[in-house]
Structure 1
Amino acid sequence: MLPTVKKLTAAALAVGLAACTSAGARETESASADAASKAPFPSTYSAYPGRPTALVGATVYDGAGKKIDNGTVLFRDGKVEAVGDASLSTDGYDRVDGTGKFVTPGVIDIHSHLGDYPTPAVEAHSDGNEATSPTTPEVWAEHSVWPQDPGFTRALANGGVTALQILPGSANLMGGRSVTLKNVPSRTVQGMKFPGAPYGFKMACGENPKRVYGDRGRMPSTRMGNFAVNRQTWLDAKAYDGKKRDLAKETLKGVLDGEILVHNHCYRADEMALVMDMAKEMGYKVSAFHHAVEAYKIGDLLRENDVCSAIWADWYGFKMESYDGILENAALLFREGACVVIHSDDANGIQRLNQEAAKAQAAGHRLGIDISDAEVIRWFTLNPAKAMGVDGMTGSLEPGKMADVVLWNGNPLSVYSRPEKVWVDGALMFDAMDRKRRPVSDFELGQPGEGDVK
């Protein structure tokens, strides 16, 4: 066995070095484009090179609610050029036969901690939560991201994930800025940062902050304490004049100015309603409530306030504030016309967001709420893109958008289906049929279905 392992380790090193070399070249090429940027940590992302590609003969779900049988998707130079039926000309494109297969936009996870809580899960890697104060708006999740976390390649290969938002943890009322990444190999987090994506701001309600800080004998120790600390922090931020730099207040001002999007960890319906009231009082907007296991109770309020619910299909009952979670949460929200997003919050769950969405769809069906497959695909493509502020660039297969595309070997809402090919900005980043385009890492040695171990 040792010679095989040594061979694989060498191969992994070679692939890793190749990826780093390529990533380094891409970052260097794009650095000049960002030189004039005033951002303190600018993106150096530049798409890997791709080829003009035509996916033909597959069932296409465009992410915006449309299904095309025997469809054609054309992309070139990193952008989708056309989506239609078999009549589209494919001259000048590399043809990929999708007969009997399915095409969707790239999967997007709105709630991930990859890189901040990477694999292996050891204390030395636990960098996702600055749990030293109830409010830490000054911290940025990107400054903890380890780009070589093998969770990124697992999410790409097993889940078709092409973009994801990395959030701080939920110990704090205000946990800091999130960052949106493209799921590509890079030596640095700047080389993964989604170009043009707004920052997010992580907040948390309920049990977590009151438990963490109440157990330390300090405020907040109750839900009323949570809201009191939040309101005072917002009032202080509104008075900030910017004459003396304050990193925390700079982030809060960005939220109040609408430049940074609020992503609020919140379970109970009553608290979500209170947060929306506080947002109106202070002059900001909640983009999405995360976890939101009781969102089904206030679907009309969420729709009226244009707030998405980023939820699990069936996680509930693991703490008191999650006991009223139900399997039909997504379906009831959909029936109300509210925005539904399926999220992971988990290094394993991110690899099967498509299956989680299918479970939520099935729960609705049992209740008598029939939701089409084309609409369910939206829950892990266009809807998260909307809540993350990048729906103008990705999330659906539309001309001019990024060519973030997944070819599935079967219906993506089937437990038996897996990504066969994944493109990010038109570059083929994973191919299950090509050993050279499968992610390999030393952390994958001996894992079933991973690497090259026989």
Structure 2
Amino acid sequence: MRKHSALIALLAAVSLVLSACQGDKTKAAKPELPNPNPYPSTYQLPATEPTLIQNATVLDGLGKQWDKADVLLQNGKIQQIATDISPPAGAQLIDAQGQWLTPGFIDVHSHLGLYPAPETANHADGNEMTSPVTAEVWAEHSVWPGDPQFEKVLAGGVTTLQVLPGSGNLIGGRGVTLKNIPAITVQAMKFPDAPYSLKMACGENPKAVYGEKGVAPSTRMGNMAGFRAAWIQAKAYQKSWQDYVADTVAGEEVDAPERNLQMETLAAVLDGQIRIHNHCYRADEMAQMIDMSKEFGYSIAAFHHGVEAYKVAPLLAQENICAVVWADWWGFKQEAYDMVPENLALLEHAQACAIIHSDDPIQAQRLNQEIAKAMAAGNRMGMNISRAQAIRWVTSNAAISLGLEDQVGAIAAGKNADLVLWDGDPFSVYSHSNKVWIDGKLRYDRNNPAVAPTSDFNLGMLQGQENLP
């Protein structure tokens, strides 16, 4: 089970010290540590019947295309992918002849629930722009589960989302990974034991936000100084807890350090418990952020909005950092100008972890078309990228960036049964998702609206419209 606090690493140190003292008659004291997971997931695996999807063209998310394949779902997992699977007793049979089956899509850069519909100023909860460093805030505490946009992206095949704070701050707070299911509480949507993420932002956004306020940072060098100052504080905070644990286990009576929610999150990054997802457009800034991660001893999981990622693709591959990009968005600000539509394909060519993302509730409804555009751009360059390769940009590669590759992102035995059945080639603008499963439960059926009832809020809006004269 994954943990989400830097303090968990201290427990390992406690265990080692206690083991060393087993022969000592003096029982070592147990240090009092904060609860590392005060807002746990309450998601429950739904009861499902065995389902056998037959005769589908399968893109497995691992680089292979299967023709006329069967996929068996049971107890929320993928049990088998093969040809001519014998159905277990009581299995629901789905004839997928002429249809395509893919893993559920993973949008690693979403703001659904933080900037929900209806889009009003009082409903915008994604940017705590009161300080350049707000590592203490958690996106899940702003997510509104009733956002009607969740059901729209479900119809587009998105089964897992990473919801991130905005990019107005240098360090914007924790992100959260959600299962795209209807729920009353955000805890019921939280992907059980998924690692937390930390949103950081280099470049124009933070320096513009705070420069306009007449405070630091107002330049890119101010950005870097602000980051470094925060990490210096975090290192000191981390050491204060390490010293407290060591002194307590040694039998000394010492007070625990005063908790600091901001530093608690940053120290968890330093201990490898929280994954950095870094908004960063320019190649030179990506290189600087990598240098800074080495200065302070943490890892970067992914650079988001990497418009210039193609320029440093070999560096990203070498450092095992994913590049999260658009197919063709560009030009909306200075740092977004040097875009090429072959960005994803060039990252793939360099054997970097390449990922498509939305950052937009509309684009999230058609991520299949976005990867099709990126694949086509690469193939016009002569790269010969197959559909089986390209689908990884929104499935298994995305799962890697979230630290969930052992559970989602692929159609393989033992993975969660998150699947999308398309009525045709998913790389075609004419194709639609017919059915979407999450953990083996049918959550969307294009031909049966009753499978995915609308949100309470949206239902009220629709009823109101019906009553209009």
TM normalised by structure 1 equals 0.88
SS at match of 1:443: helix
What is the alpha-carbon distance in structure 2 between the residues aligned to residue 117 and residue 439 of structure 1? 22
Match of 2:70? 72
Equivalent AA in structure 2 for residue 59 of structure 1: T
1:207–1:321 CA contact under 8 A, matched in 2: yes
**Structure 1, residues 352-394: CA drift from partner, whole Å, max 9, x if none?**
1111000000111111111110011110011111101111111
Is the CA contact 1:177–1:199 (under 8 Å) kept in the aligned structure 2?
yes
Corresponding residue for residue 222 of structure 1: 219
Letter of the 1:222 partner, please give it: T
Q: Do the aligned partners of 1:328 and 1:360 also contact (CA within 8 Å) in 2?
A: yes
1:52-106 per-residue CA deviation (whole Å, 9 max, x = no partner) reads: 0000001011111111100110011101100112x22123221100000000110
Aligned to 2:114: 116
Is 1:350 the counterpart of 2:364 in the alignment?
Answer: yes
**Aligned partners of 1:213 and 1:435: how far apart in 2?**
47
Say whether 1:130 aligns with 2:128: yes
Report the secondary structure of 1:191's partner residue: coil
Q: Counterpart in 2 of 1:23?
A: none
Instruction: Tell me the distance in 1 between the aligned counterparts of 2:399 and 2:118.
Output: 29
Q: Secondary structure at the match of 1:104?
A: strand
Partner of 1:146: 144
Letter in 2 for 1:317: G
3-state DSSP class of the match of 1:402?
coil
Pick closer, same or farther for the CA change 1:439–1:313 going to 2, 3 Å: farther
The change in CA–CA distance for 1:446 and 1:246 in structure 2 (over 3 A counts) is closer
Distance in 1 separating the partners of 2:423 and 2:460: 25
1:102-160 Cα offsets, whole Å, 9 max, x none, are 00110100000000000011011100010111010000000000001011111101x11
Aligned residue for 1:345, secondary structure, equals coil
Determine if contact 1:430/1:439 at 8 Å carries over to the other structure. Answer: no
Q: 1:7 maps to what in 2?
A: none
Aligned to 1:12: none
CA distance in 2, matches of 1:402, 1:391: 10
2:416 alignment counterpart: 402
Q: How far apart in 2 are the matches of 1:413 and 1:222?
A: 42
Offset from partner CA, 1:284-342 (integer Å, 9 cap, x none): 11100000000000000000000001100000111000110111100111111111100
Identity across the alignment (%): 55
Q: How does 1:72-111 map to 2 (within 5 A)?
A: 72-85=70-83, 87-92=84-89, 93-111=91-109
Q: Retained in 2: the 8 A contact 1:57–1:98? A: yes
1:20-419 matches, cutoff 5 A: 39-85=37-83, 87-92=84-89, 93-157=91-155, 159-240=156-237, 241-242=240-241, 243-419=257-433
- Please say which structure displays the higher CA radius of gyration: 2
- Corresponding letter in the other structure for 2:371: A
Report the alpha carbon displacement of residue 435 of structure 1 after superposing the two structures with TM: 2.8
Mapped pair 1:443 → 2:458? yes
TM-score normalised according to structure 2 size: 0.86
- The Cα shift of 1:445 comes to 8.7
CA distance in 2, matches of 1:78, 1:145: 26
Q: Deviations over 1:165-196 (max 9, x none)?
A: 00000000000000000000110000000012
The residue type paired with residue 173 of structure 1 is L
Go from structure 1 to structure 2 and tell me whether the alpha carbon gap of 1:251 and 1:216 turns closer, same or farther (over 3 Å shift): same
Question: 1:446 Cα shift?
Answer: 9.5
Secondary structure of 1:148's aligned partner: coil
Deviations 1:37-59 (A, max 9, x none): 85110100012322100000010
Equivalent-residue separation in structure 1 for 2:343 and 2:459 (angstroms): 35
Give the whole-Å Cα distance in 1 for the aligned partners of 2:218 and 2:184: 41
Task: Give the Cα–Cα distance (whole angstroms) in 1 for the partners of residues 150 and 267 of structure 2.
Answer: 32
Structure 1 residue runs without a partner (length 5+): 1-36
Separation in 1, partners of 2:407, 2:194: 9
Q: Which runs of 4+ in 1 moved over 6 A?
A: 444-447
| Cα pair 1:408 1:419 within 8 Å, conserved | yes
Query: How many Å apart are 1:444 and its aligned residue?
Result: 7.2
Supply the distance in 1 between the matched residues of 2:368 and 2:337 (Cα, whole angstroms): 25
CA contact (8 A) 2:418 2:439 kept: yes
| Residues 242-289 of structure 1 deviation map (CA, whole Å, 9 limit, x = unaligned) | 411000010001100111000000000000000001001110111000
Alpha-carbon deviation of 1:440? 2.4
Which letter maps to 1:226? Answer: N
SS state at 2:394 partner: coil
CA contact (8 A) 2:50 2:88 kept: no
Deviation at 1:415, TM superposition (A): 0.7
Match of 2:438 in 1: 424
Q: For 2:352 and 2:154, how far apart are their aligned partners in 1?
A: 28
RMSD: 1.4
In structure 2, stretches of 5+ residues that fail to align are 1-34, 242-256
